[in-house]
Amino acid sequence: MCAAAIMLTLRCLELELLQHNNHRHHFFNTFFLKMLQEAPLKPYNDNDSRLMKWTKGVDIFPKDYIYVPIHGGIHWSLVLICHPSAIINQLLQPPVKKMAAGRALSKNGPDKPLMLHLDSLSGTHDPAPIFQKLRWYLEQEWKWRMNNAMEESVPRTWKNSFLAAGVQVPEVRFSKQMLPGISMASRLPQQDDSVDCGLFLLSYIDFFSAADPMYVLAAGGLDSTDVIVASPKPEAANPSTIMSKLWFSKQNTARLRSHMLVLMSKLMLGTLPAHDARYHRIKSAVEEYDKMLNIKGYRYLRPVEYLAFQTEQDAQETMCGGH
């Protein structure tokens, strides 16, 4: 699947969240990681760092979830960065009553950030070097924002809290211990062909962002391979199946290709004049697809629809089994 199609779909998902006033998610585009991997491991420089342009005007640290698409070896996978500002919970807290560190964290909330590698073809992408480069990036981004007096940010406010209290600002290090990474491939829905990796990438993001859980925690120590997904939205996710093999079906994911084609067709209709011959061909195809909107199980179901459909199917099977 081409990067342009994935970027367009990601942008639509992002706009959908923003329309619902949900600012907890940040989406890097498909070229970010490649550029990051090519960057030398040195401190940011205001004059020559291309990395700063990716988050210009956006403080990523109040975000709860950051999506980093990975493309390499004709395969797509995803890194999900959870709660980056929780890094401060691992450090000496400033002697002040309030801090701006994104959404207030409950005592049962995340005590540290976490990275998850979501891969539909286990073993294709090695997450270890990707985790390492992202740790370096987050550390550089934190230091740069902490010392940038021109923009308000979580790192800057955190630093000022120490200065106001006359306390030395501790060094922030996004080490493996402070920011662990977990490979999730063994517990997620997997593709059984060589072409649907991009569709699985988008399904992971669609279903996770719709669930919008309160937080995600590693379910153990530093070498944990499991996670706790806390309080997902009940209309969009089942707590017992989210981020498991039963999260969504391969069949539903395969139908996403047609869904994306219709999405792009609808956008194209908005740019074509009605007298253009292509307009009527595209319009006819879109109308034909729209007729399927009430035929569940034959088209791609978004997370809320999918959960309702699956719940109904499970209930029917239970009733049949009872007879």
Judged against a pLDDT cut of 50, whether residue 138 lies above it is answered with: yes
Answer yes or no: do 135 and 235 share one domain. yes
Q: Do 284 and 240 have their domain in common? A: no
**Contact by Cβ (8 Å): 119, 196:** no
d(CA 76, CA 201): 7
Give the lowest-confidence range in 87-91, 153-157, 170-174, 183-187: 87-91
244/58 Cα distance (integer angstroms): 32
pLDDT at 176: 93
Same domain for 292 and 267: yes
pLDDT of 322 reads 58
Instruction: State the Cα angle at 43 between 38 and 44, rounded to 5°.
Output: 80
What's the confidence (pLDDT) of residue 67?
98
| Cα distances (angstroms) measured from residue 248 to each of 121, 207, 243, 303 | 16, 8, 9, 9
**For residue 213, pLDDT beyond 70:** yes
State residue 94's pLDDT score: 60
Residue range of the domain that includes 293: 256-322
266's tokens: 């609808």
Q: Of 206, 228, 247, which marks where a domain is finished?
A: 247
Q: Please tell me the predicted confidence (pLDDT) of residue 262.
A: 86
Number of domains the chain is built from: 2
Looking at the fold, whether 208 and 73 belong to one and the same domain comes out as yes
| Confidence at residue 284, expressed as pLDDT on a 0 to 100 scale | 85
The model's pLDDT over 115-127, given as tens digits with 9 standing for 90+, comes to 999 999 988 899 9
Q: What confidence score (pLDDT) does residue 93 get?
A: 64
**Does residue 146 share a domain with residue 87?**
yes
Based on the domain organization, do 86 and 190 belong to the same domain? yes
Q: Active-site residue numbers?
A: 75, 119, 197
Mean of the pLDDT values across residues 222-235? 89
Find the range with the poorest average confidence among 14-18, 47-51, 188-192, 289-293: 47-51
- 119 and 199 fall within a common domain: yes
Residues 230 and 275 in one domain: no
Q: What is the pTM of this model?
A: 0.90
